[in-house]
Structure formats: C-alpha cells, structure tokens
Structure 1
Amino acid sequence: MTTPADRLQATYLIETPLEPAKVAEVMAGEQSCGTFTRVQGETDALRERARATVEQLDELPAAETPSLPNAWLDRQGRGGPWRRARVRVSFPTANIGANLPTLAATVSGNLYDLGEVTGLRLESMQVPASYRARFERPVAGITGTRKLTGVTHGALVGTIIKPNVGFSAQQTAELVAQLCAAGVDFIKDDEVCADPDHAPLAQRVPAVMAAVRAHQARTGKHVMVAFNITDETEAMKRHADLVEREGGSCVMVSLNWCGFSAVQTLRRHTPLVIHGHRNGFGALSRHPQLGIGFQAYQTLWRLAGVDHMHVHGLQGKFSQPDAEVQASARDCLAPLAEGCDDAVMPAFSSGQWAGTVPATWSAIGTDDLLFMSGGGILAHPGGPAAGVTSIRQAWAAARAGIALPDAAREAPELAAALDFFGPKTR
C-alpha cells in the first residue's frame, strides 16, 4: 500500500449496531474539520483541504453481544446485530504538522468515546517518508547498539537487575560486576526501580558505572546498562547527563507514564541510547475490540526517537500469544516509511531462558534482537556465567538447526538449564 506524500493512514477495527460506512464518516469528520453536524465556516474548500477521508471499509462477521457498554446507544434503544468492520482513514499531515502529541490525539483521541461504537481499536498506521523525516530517529538503533557493545553478530544477551528493588547502590554495583563477569552484553533496571530512597540514581549510577568501567578496562568489553531514569522531564535530563558523564551508553524510560513530549525532549537532549519500556501497554491493547495495536503504538514511539522497544517474549509468562510477539518484533525491524533506515532493536523479555531460544529464532530468523533473561541467567544452577553460556549455546544450536537436547550432549551448561528450568525445548 502506497501512502500519499501529504497524508497519513490509520486502520481501525470498529463495532457498531449502525451502518458501518456512516460510522466511518463520523470518525473521519470527528478527527478533522467536522463534528456531528456541519458548522458555520466549514466551506466546501475547507473540507476538501482538511477533512479526513475514508479510504476503505471491509465488513467482518457480526457479534451477538456488544463488546463494551454504551449509554448513548442505550438511550436510543438500539440493539444488535453488532456489526464489525475494518476501516482505513487518511488524514492530511498539514492538519497536524510535526507535533507528536497532536498526531496521537488525531488518530485516537475522542474516537474511543464515540457514541456510535461499542468497540474501536487503532490497529496500524502508515506515514509517508516526507512526514517521517520531520520527527526524531533513533541515535543508535540496531547498528549503533552493536557498535557500542562490540557484538558484531549473534543476538545480544541481556539480563535484569534482580531483586527488582531493595538493593543499595553498592549492592547493585556488586551484582552488575558479577553480571559483567558472567558475559552479558546488556543489563537493565526493572521498571519499578528508578530513583528509590535506598539507591538513588545520584549514588547508583556512579557505583554501577565504576564496575562497568573496571570490567571494560580488564576485558575491553563495554556492557550496556539501561538505567531507569523515568521521572519528570527536567529530572530525566539531569539523570541522563549523569549517566553520560559516568561513561554510560543507555537510559531506560517507562514510555506510557512519561509521555510523548517528555521522551521527545529527552531524545533531543541526550546522545544516549533510549531503551523504551512499554509497561502498561496491556491496559491499552489487551481487549481485542479496544485500544491500540502494537504496530500503531510502536510507530508513535519510534517517531519520538527511541532505539529499543520491548515486545515481551515467546513462550513467556505474560498474556500475549506468540503470534502477537512475533508480529511486534517484525514491526520494530521494519522501516516506518519507504526508504527509511530507522529500525529499532526489539527487546525480548518475560520468562525467557535457553529453552525459549529456538522458538525465537524460528519466528524471527534474525540475530538483530536483544534477548533478556532474568531467572534464566541468575537462577541457573551453575551460576550467572553458566546461564549466559547456556543461552549462547542454545542460540548457536537454533541457528544450526540442531535440537536443544542433541546440542546439550556437548554443552553442559545448556544441559543443566534444560534439566533445571523445564522441558520447553524444540
């Protein structure tokens, strides 16, 4: 599908007891120059220039019951059938300009509150290259992350600080030193540990980076640490400056709670890699007839300039089906617009260990990802170094098409992982 140079396109799933084509026109009018009725000053010329237009509508099988309550329809005594349709609407980019919060308000905004619908979900977005060029790009992305960590091939193996909270700054630094020695490429804070009283960033960043620098001096290897600097905007800028001064290369932000403007400001302020954590995304996406799909979600955040995006993990501990995780990773690896080299690194996490590697390789077929394992590394019976080794052994086996039990005959760390963590092998 070709996106016109002066328009962006958004695809929605809608549910309504009304005529879907009429509801689609309401959506287009509500989010551009119109309202429920034509108003003074809304000339034909203005509508031609500024109105969103319905490009396509495909009706889907109807539902027997409404997905969501709707007082507006109840007041009118409207019942089913509850018709469903996929609708593509295009918006003039001139209506929005290079304004990310307004872009989000345009493609979402009041649409979720429309009285005409009992379900509405923004599934995907396509932006033209000329419009994408008006927004931030990743400063590192995949290529830059590999360069910073010295990982020229293979998946990057990462882990998470565990326990999530409770460690002092010095205890955190001691754990980071152990993890660096274990051979990880990447370490991140948990989303619930940002600037706690028991380990404030002002203490934690210098302590951790002293351990990282010492490891780099011994081995030549820079381990990327994603410090969680989630906070109000000015504080995040100060935290990022501290990380940069201490020789760090990455910061992490909880995207949904910081907001588009804050992340854009941070991107413009710092040259550090921004690791985008999507915690809270389930509230926006988990209902199949409400919210936002990952393709549209990651489009908006990539326009803010993040370098990494969380996609959860295959065969993991969260609710997303594997097919959704696979599609999310592919979305991250695809350009946002034709001719754009702006892919971001998908970060796999949640219940990942050596046994989930084959499913990941089979689904994605690329090494350009961050494979994060908490318990799979830290709880390995042979210790963290054996945990890291087991994942690398599993990755080599998967790439070679060797079943993990067969590979484990020559790989004791992998064999121990399979025995300890369970039978999730292929």
Structure 2
Amino acid sequence: MDRIEATYYVETPYPLADAAAVMAGEQSSGTFVAIPGETEELKMQYAARVERITELETVSQPSLSGEQLHFEKYYRGKVTVSWSVANFGTNLPVLCSTLMGNLYELRQFTGIKLVDIQLPDSYTTQFRGPKFGIRGTAELISNEAKTPLIGTIIKPSVGLTIADTADLVKKLAEAGIDFIKDDELMGSTRNSPFADRVQAVMEVLNRHQDKTGKKVMYAFNISDEMDNMLRNYETIVQAGGSCAMVSLYSAGLTAVKRIADIGQLTIHGHRNGWGMLNRHPLLGVSFSAYQKLWRLAGVDQLHVNGIRNKFWESDESVVSSIKACLTPMAGVLPALPVLSSGQWGGQAIDTYKLTQTTDYLYLAGGGIMAHPGGIGSGVSAIKQAWEAAVEGLTLAEATRKFPAVQQAVEKFGKTR
C-alpha cells in the first residue's frame, strides 16, 4: 500500500531503535501495553513502521526536559517512520496529528523535530493545491507581469485611518508597485473596519486599473473566526479584489483549506508564529515539511523571510525554504516564495546568486517607504537591483548604473 514517510531528528537517552519503536507504536495502533484488539493482521495494515535509523552524535546533556533521571549519554540520530495512507486518507488534520502529535510528549525523547515528509504521488494528486501559484499570481496583476513581483506592507501596521491607507495605496500604485498587503496585525480596527477599508482601497486600485490596465494586487487580512473569514472573503470578491491573506498558524489548517477551496482569490499565507515551531534545533517542524502541508491545503504564496533578514534566521535556512516552496509535488503547484523582513534592493544580488531564480514576491516596507528619493524611487531601486542581479552585476556596479540603487545603498547598507 502507499505509505507516507516522515523523518525526524531525535535525541534520546535510550537506544535509538527502542525509542523509535515507541514512537511508531504511539503514533499508530499501539499504546503503552499490549491490548487484545491489536492483532497481527491489524498491525500489518495500520501500524507504523520504523524504516531507517541513522546514528549521529552523542551529548552529555539533554536538549529538553525528559525523565527526571540522569543519564551519561544522549543519542542523536535521524529516524524515518512510515504510515499507510489508509490511516488518515486525505484528512489533513488527522495526518498532522499523526506526524506532529503526542510524539512530542513522549518521555523517551529529550529532543524531536520533524525534518521532512515524503508524500507519494498517488496521495498529493488527490489535492488541488494552490489554484494560482506563481504564474497565476502574476497573471492576476497583468498579462505582462513577470517575477520578481515587487511589493510592500502598509505601515504603520495598525492605526492608519482608511483615508490615509487609501492615499498611501494610491501613491504606491502610481510608483509602479505590483503588490500591497495588510500587516498581519491588521484585521478590523475601530478606525479601519475591514469592509470599509476594502471598499476604499479597491476604489483606488480599480481606478488605477482603468487608467493603466494593471491590477495591483492587495492582500487583505481576512484572518478571523470561520464565519467572519468567509464574509471577509466575499467582501473582497464583491469589491473586485484578487487576494486574501491568512495568518496560517492562527487560523489553522482546516480553516485555510476551506478558504482556499473557494478558488476565487489567490491565497497569501503569512507564517507568523512559525518561529516557535522551528527555532529550536531539536523541537518542532522544519519549513520543508511545513510548506508541503500548506501547499496541499491550497496556499498560493508563502513567507520565507529573506537574505540578511532582521530576524534570527540564517541565509542558509532561508535559501532552503525558498527551494522547498519551488520543489515539485505531483499534481500540486509550487508556492510563490514571499521574501520579507528588512529587505531592500541590496539583498537582491545575493538572493539571485544563491538561488538562480526570480520567482519571488519581494516585499520591502522601510526599503521602499524610507528611500531618500521617496516611494517612487524606493520601488524603482528594488526593480533596478533585480535587473542588475539577473545581468550578473555586483551591487557596487549596480550603484554606478542606477542612481536610485546608490541612494538605497547610502541609506540602508554597504556594497560588497
């Protein structure tokens, strides 16, 4: 039968094979003692299997609290476990409970992290996945739109009036921006109710489209309780919008899939909260596994931080996340990687060198808003920096060719 495999990086004071067997039993047909109903026939069909174990290093101190006992050694390794698809079918919440459920509480482990999931083609093809993906997102903006798409975030994050938001959107659209989004902290505030904000913003963008033929994409944050999310989604559709933003962790897998399944708007998936799922090296879930689940749910655009970001994440980790979003899955489109977090034109050169792709939604807040030449120069500087990156220019060469890039370097960073 088709099986789903999951690989974990683990730490345990017990032999790896013994600890892995406990994990497999807990996350399938077993419990802490043998029970009459767990027949050999049942286990053959539904029990998890330990497929592979790779022993790695040993350490003298546990990474996480476990049994209240002292052990001289803690063994680390990679453990791959598999389950029959018959255990959960296309039920994503049950799949998640299997892959990332009680195993984190097992006393046999002092560290456990889901590193990756291997999904058979026969499984992924049962999901629609992202309806729009990379190319579809660009085409919603313009038939001529090409990646990287340049975008920004409304700042201040919370507190702007609707009139001020609409005025800023007008300036950004006229500056040549491709994409604008609500901050994840912005839902429906007292001075900016959701429906009124959507109406005001879309009036600006619809007029801009009438003049230019370009439909600047605005990602309105619909994150809320389910009924309100559906209502917010319909508000965007009725106003002529093209994108809904959802805070993935806050809304949850089922809610996001329900929204994505409607299929009228492209879905911008904001991963705020992902740090607490990943930041510890021996706890949580890697982005490679995380993004597969959200792509199955139908998310078109996924945040991946960016090179030299303002957060904790290393460039190596960001590049790995980018490549994960673009890795093929049978029947499921790639997700558009969303680069953000302290980005300006200067990182474009290195981003292209490290990934050799322009398939990005490249978001800059301060990198556009705080550009010395104003918003128009801020947008131009990033577009020109990407042009230079594809041409193979260094950042120093880009500053000599493009005055707006030179101003950005003087404001935000140094050439190197």
TM-score using structure 2 length: 0.98
Structure 1 residue 39 and structure 2 residue 35: aligned? Answer: yes
Q: Decide whether the 8 Å contact of 1:209 with 1:246 is kept in 2.
A: yes
Q: Decide whether the 8 Å contact of 1:237 with 1:269 is kept in 2.
A: no
* Alpha-carbon RMSD: 1.1
Structure 1 residue 389 and structure 2 residue 385: aligned? Answer: no
Q: Residues 69-103 of structure 1, C-alpha deviation per residue, up to 9 Å, x if partnerless? A: 12xx21xx341301001001111111001111111
Q: Secondary structure at the match of 1:414?
A: helix
Q: Secondary structure at the match of 1:54?
A: strand
State the distance in 2 between where 1:20 and 1:404 align: 49
> Residue 410 of structure 1: CA displacement?
2.5
Q: Secondary structure at the match of 2:183?
A: coil
In the other structure, the counterpart of 2:361 is 370
Q: Decide whether the 8 Å contact of 1:157 with 1:371 is kept in 2.
A: yes
State the distance in 1 between where 2:381 and 2:393 align: 14
Q: Residues 347-370 of structure 1, C-alpha deviation per residue, up to 9 Å, x if partnerless? A: 000000011111111111111111
Which stretch shifts more, 197-206 or 398-407? Answer: 398-407
Structure 1 residue 133 and structure 2 residue 125: aligned? Answer: yes
Q: Secondary structure at the match of 2:63?
A: coil
1:323-362 map, 5 Å: 323-336=316-329, 339-362=330-353
Q: Decide whether the 8 Å contact of 1:241 with 1:270 is kept in 2.
A: no
Q: Residues 11-63 of structure 1, C-alpha deviation per residue, up to 9 Å, x if partnerless? A: 00110000110111111111111112221111101000101101100011111
Structure 1 residue 63 and structure 2 residue 55: aligned? Answer: no
Count of matched residue pairs: 415
The residue type equivalent to 1:281 in the other structure is: W
> Residue 146 of structure 1: CA displacement?
1.3
Which stretch shifts more, 153-162 or 131-140? Answer: 131-140
- Pick from 148, 159, 182: which aligns with 2:152? 159
> Residue 109 of structure 1: CA displacement?
0.3
In the other structure, the counterpart of 1:298 is 291
Q: Decide whether the 8 Å contact of 2:130 with 2:332 is kept in 1.
A: no
Structure 1 residue 421 and structure 2 residue 412: aligned? Answer: yes
Structure 1 residue 239 and structure 2 residue 235: aligned? Answer: no
Gaps of 5+ in 2: none
State the distance in 1 between where 2:240 and 2:218 align: 10
Q: Decide whether the 8 Å contact of 1:13 with 1:121 is kept in 2.
A: yes
Q: Decide whether the 8 Å contact of 2:128 with 2:331 is kept in 1.
A: no
Q: Residues 256-301 of structure 1, C-alpha deviation per residue, up to 9 Å, x if partnerless? A: 0100111111112342000000001001110000011101111111
State the distance in 2 between where 1:119 and 1:219 align: 55
State the distance in 2 between where 1:115 and 1:299 align: 28
Identical residues among aligned pairs (%) = 47
Q: Decide whether the 8 Å contact of 2:129 with 2:332 is kept in 1.
A: no
Gaps of 5+ in 1: none
Q: Residues 353-396 of structure 1, C-alpha deviation per residue, up to 9 Å, x if partnerless? A: 01111111111111111110000001001011101111111111
The residue type equivalent to 1:62 in the other structure is: T
In the other structure, the counterpart of 2:211 is 218
State the distance in 2 between where 1:40 and 1:399 align: 65
In the other structure, the counterpart of 1:111 is 103
State the distance in 1 between where 2:116 and 2:197 align: 39
Q: Decide whether the 8 Å contact of 2:127 with 2:332 is kept in 1.
A: no
Q: Decide whether the 8 Å contact of 2:296 with 2:332 is kept in 1.
A: no
CA shift in 2, pair 1:152/1:169, >3 Å: closer
In the other structure, the counterpart of 2:398 is 407
In the other structure, the counterpart of 2:73 is 81
Q: Decide whether the 8 Å contact of 1:149 with 1:223 is kept in 2.
A: yes
The residue type equivalent to 2:24 in the other structure is: A
Q: Decide whether the 8 Å contact of 2:125 with 2:332 is kept in 1.
A: no
1:182-193 map, 5 Å: 182-193=175-186
> Residue 66 of structure 1: CA displacement?
0.4
Q: Secondary structure at the match of 2:244?
A: strand
Structure 1 residue 280 and structure 2 residue 273: aligned? Answer: yes
In the other structure, the counterpart of 2:138 is 146
Q: Secondary structure at the match of 1:409?
A: helix
Q: Secondary structure at the match of 1:288?
A: coil
Q: Decide whether the 8 Å contact of 2:338 with 2:363 is kept in 1.
A: yes
> Residue 135 of structure 1: CA displacement?
2.5
Which stretch shifts more, 90-99 or 262-271? Answer: 262-271
TM-score using structure 1 length: 0.96
State the distance in 2 between where 1:409 and 1:121 align: 46
In the other structure, the counterpart of 1:289 is 282
State the distance in 1 between where 2:3 and 2:291 align: 19
State the distance in 1 between where 2:55 and 2:332 align: 35
- Pick from 32, 45, 52: which aligns with 2:48? 52
- Pick from 97, 114, 121: which aligns with 1:122? 114
Q: Secondary structure at the match of 1:59?
A: strand
In the other structure, the counterpart of 2:242 is 249
State the distance in 2 between where 1:146 and 1:27 align: 44
